Amino acid sequence: MIFKRLLIAAGVIAITTPAYAQVSEVRLGANFHDIDWTGLGSGSDKERSIALNGEIVFEEPEFLKWAFSPQPYLGGALNLEGETSYGGGGLLWRQTFAENFYLDFSLGLVVHDGTIEARPSAIVQSVIDDPTVQAGLSEVERAQFTQDLAEFRNRQSTEIDYGSRVLFREQIAIGYRWSEDWSAHIFVEHLSHGNILVKNRPNEGLDTLGFRLSRHF
């Protein structure tokens, strides 16, 4: 129940935060895309690439004190090699330790521009459903089948099947704050629909590893 309430709150925050909150932190950096660190990613390095990323983190709102005072954030990543880019928002919890070190956990939702599901063409699907169909194809149909099958296999090996346009985003970061104004952190994150946002769809997911500099206000 608490998890569902947090997800609803994350979605609301992503839409309404700029209207009422003060900026606490601006974070910019880069990340390695599709590293499969959780074992829940694509598993095939389909989109191994580099992306730029950034976030705006806001002050804790009073109405979320019941959830251990998380900070709303908005952010996203722009892939530099034409692979999946995404943006969204959610909630961030921070724990400071050993004076200047901190640990962040973020939970949110993103919208991406990647592949929902690489589907075969009608003629390829017909052969997948019944292999005996291939023997009855005409010469023209065989040529079309060969072309479509090659394209389908290429998409399967180079595109992540996310299964949903909207995905959950979980991120863990560990950082060091060396002054009142500046800090830096490394982070790992995972994107997928978790078989919660949609059912009976692909859920290959995306894992990333990155680094960011943060300016505090």
Min mean pLDDT across 10-14, 63-67, 113-117 is at 10-14
Mind listing the pLDDT tens digit for each residue in 63-83? 999 999 999 999 999 999 999
170 and 189 part of one domain: yes
> What is the Cα–Cα distance from 76 to 89, expressed in whole angstroms?
8
Q: 73 and 131 share a domain?
A: no
52 within 8 A of 131, measured Cβ to Cβ: no
pLDDT of residue 162: 96
Predicted confidence at residue 20, as pLDDT, reads: 55
Residue 126 corresponds to which tokens in the numbers above?
A: 């017909």
pLDDT at position 14, please?
Answer: 54
Report the alpha-carbon angle 161-75-156, nearest 5. 10
Question: Could you identify the residue written with the tokens 């606490």?
Answer: 24
Tokens 């560990």 belong to residue = 174
Q: Which of 156, 179, 208 is the last residue of a domain?
A: 156
What mean pLDDT do residues 108-137 have?
94
CA distances 146 to 123, 131, 138, 158, Å, are: 10, 14, 12, 18
| Residue with tokens 């580099």, as numbered in its chain | 50
Q: Do 104 and 130 lie in a common domain?
A: no
Q: How many domains does the chain have?
A: 2
**What is the per-residue burial (b if ≥16 Cβ within 10 Å, else e) of 174-196?**
ebebeeeeebebebbbbbbbbee
SS3 at position 135: helix
Q: Which domain holds residue 31?
A: 2-116+165-216
Structure tokens at 198: 């949609």
Q: How far apart are CA 171 and CA 51, in angstroms?
A: 16
Q: Which of 156, 175, 204 is the last residue of a domain?
A: 156
- For residues 115 and 161, what is the distance between their CA atoms, to the nearest angstrom? 6
pLDDT at 39: 77
Q: Are residues 150 and 176 in the same domain?
A: no
